[in-house]
Each structure stands twice: as C-alpha cells, then as structure tokens.
C-alpha cells in the first residue's frame, strides 16, 4: 500500500514538472511591454468638422477622419475638447499630440510637424447685414468687428487694418458661432469674421439663412503633430501613408482631399 502511494505521488510530480517545462516557452513569448498608449487628439467646436454631440462624445467629419487614419495606422485615439487658445497651448506642450490647423500657422510652426498633405480648404468670410457689400478696407473704418473667441486668422488681409489704430476698429469676441450670429443681428457689431463651414452648419441646424458675406481668404488645413511628442515624426508618416492609401483606393471620405503640399500659400480673394 505504501509503495503504491509513493509511486502515485512520484507520477503526479513528474506530470507537474512536465507541464511546467511546456509552459516555459509560452511564457517567454509574452510581450515585454504593454500596448502603445492611445494618440492624444484635441478638438474645438467647429461643426460640421468637430463638435461634442448630445452624448458628450467627440463627433464630426474631422473626428471620423482622424479616427480612421489612426485605426489604419494601428493606433487607438482619444479626443479631448479644448477652447481654441488652450488647444494651441496643449499642442505646443505636447499634451495634445495631433489635430488640424491652418497650413504654416505662424504661432504653431515652431512646435509642430505638419502632414505632407492638405486635407481641406475653407473660406474665411466677412459677414454683414443689409444689401450693400462693404468696400474694403475703407468701410472698416470706425466699425465694430466680431471675432470668434480664441480664433486666429493667419494671413487674413484684414489683419493689418484691424491692428492699425488709425482705422479705429473695435473688436468684440463671440463665444460661439450661434452667439456670433445673434450678436450681429442685435447690432452689437457691424461685421463678423468667421469661417463659412460652421456658419453653413448653423444655418442648416436653425433653418435660418446666414447673413450676407464676402470671402476675404481661402485657407488650407492639414494635420499637425506636436514636436514634444517623441513619436511625432512617426505618427506624421503613418497618417500620411494612410491618407495616400485612402486616396489611391478612392476611399477618402467626401469633402476631404489628400493634396501633396508644395508650400502653397493660402489664397487671398480679391
């Protein structure tokens, strides 16, 4: 009886030893590091391209494109909403790794790596009430001009006149696109400087026509990557490859392009 029990225990130990040996190669194959962290993307309220939906989630055409490019590059992406000025600061510091900005943005350029592709061209308009279009720049003298809070308008042909004290232009900040239109209708300003895309989106949402406008500039937009992120160059290359693949296979979402850049400046509309 004693011999049978010893033989049984010896067999059990042999089996456990064999299983341990089999498990060693499997354990050795486990990855040494955890998965790469998600890409940190920022966004502003700029419908239809980026906005916060009714569920508190990032939504919009640009959000979808960024998510698609990240997915095709093997990454996850997490979106955080910022006011415009805070998004710029977060890109400069590397807290935000990727978003979309005006091509060759003078404030951001020292802090970012740009995509090699233009993905979007948007119109910057001067909105006004009444039937008569303003004659620029003379009609800006002594006017009240609405600007979007936190927005900057690089290369705008109106900037030199806005900054010229002899024109006596007073500027007012509007917190949202909706508020900007209301302020214009309440005659708290004579003109509103804003991009056409969010104004058109607002008109569709409210079933109210946008104010009349003249286009003063067409600006190119591109993906930008924070230099303070150690993977900025790699993310730029991966996004660019994904953009080119979508273009080659005609799968690029409607409204976007992948136009290779040759340092083309934004176009001032005469």
Tens digit of each residue's pLDDT (9 = 90 or more) over 200-238: 999 999 999 999 999 999 999 999 999 999 999 999 999
Euclidean distance between CA atoms 210 and 202, whole angstroms: 8
Which CATH code, of 3.90.75.20, 3.90.245.10, 3.40.190.10, 3.50.50.60, is assigned to 39-120+221-262?
3.40.190.10
Q: What is the CATH number of domain 122-218?
A: 3.40.190.10
CATH 3.40.190.10 domain extents, the chain: 39-120+221-262, 122-218
pLDDT surpassing 60 at residue 69: yes
Residue 26 has pLDDT above 50, yes or no: no
* 18, pLDDT greater than 60: no
Q: Between 13 and 221, where is the model more confident? A: 221
pLDDT band for 31, please (50, 70, 90 cuts).
very low
145 and 190 in contact (C-beta within 8 Å)? yes
pTM of the predicted model as reported, rounded to 2 decimal places:
0.81
Q: How far is CA 154 from the centre of its chain?
A: 17
Helices (H), the chain: 2-28, 61-72, 84-93, 159-162, 177-185, 196-206, 232-248
Is pLDDT of 114 > 50? yes
């Amino acid at each position: 009886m004693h011999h049978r029990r010893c033989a049984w225990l010896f067999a059990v130990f042999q089996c456990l030893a064999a299983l341990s040996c089999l498990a060693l190669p499997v354990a050795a194959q486990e990855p040494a590091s955890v998965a790469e962290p998600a890409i940190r993307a920022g966004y502003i309220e700029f419908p239809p391209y980026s906005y916060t939906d009714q569920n508190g989630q990032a939504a919009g055409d640009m959000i979808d494109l960024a998510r698609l490019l990240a997915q095709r590059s093997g990454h996850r992406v997490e979106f955080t909403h910022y006011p415009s000025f805070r998004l710029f600061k977060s890109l400069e510091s590397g807290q935000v790794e990727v978003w979309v900005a005006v091509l060759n943005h003078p404030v951001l350029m020292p802090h970012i790596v740009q995509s090699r592709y233009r993905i979007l061209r948007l119109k910057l308009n001067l909105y006004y009430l009444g039937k008569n279009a303003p004659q620029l720049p003379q009609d800006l003298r002594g006017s009240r001009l609405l600007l979007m809070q936190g927005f900057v308008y690089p290369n705008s042909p109106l900037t030199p006149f806005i900054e010229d004290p002899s024109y006596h232009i007073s500027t007012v900040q509007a917190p949202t696109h909706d508020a900007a239109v209301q302020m214009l209708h309440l005659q708290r300003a004579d003109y509103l400087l804003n991009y056409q895309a969010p104004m058109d989106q607002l008109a569709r949402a409210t079933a109210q026509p946008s104010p009349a406008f003249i286009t003063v500039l067409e600006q190119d937009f591109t993906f930008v990557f924070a230099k303070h992120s150690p993977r900025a160059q790699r993310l730029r290359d991966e996004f660019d490859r994904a953009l080119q693949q979508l273009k080659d296979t005609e799968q690029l979402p409607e409204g976007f392009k992948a136009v290779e850049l040759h340092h083309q400046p934004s176009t001032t509309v005469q």
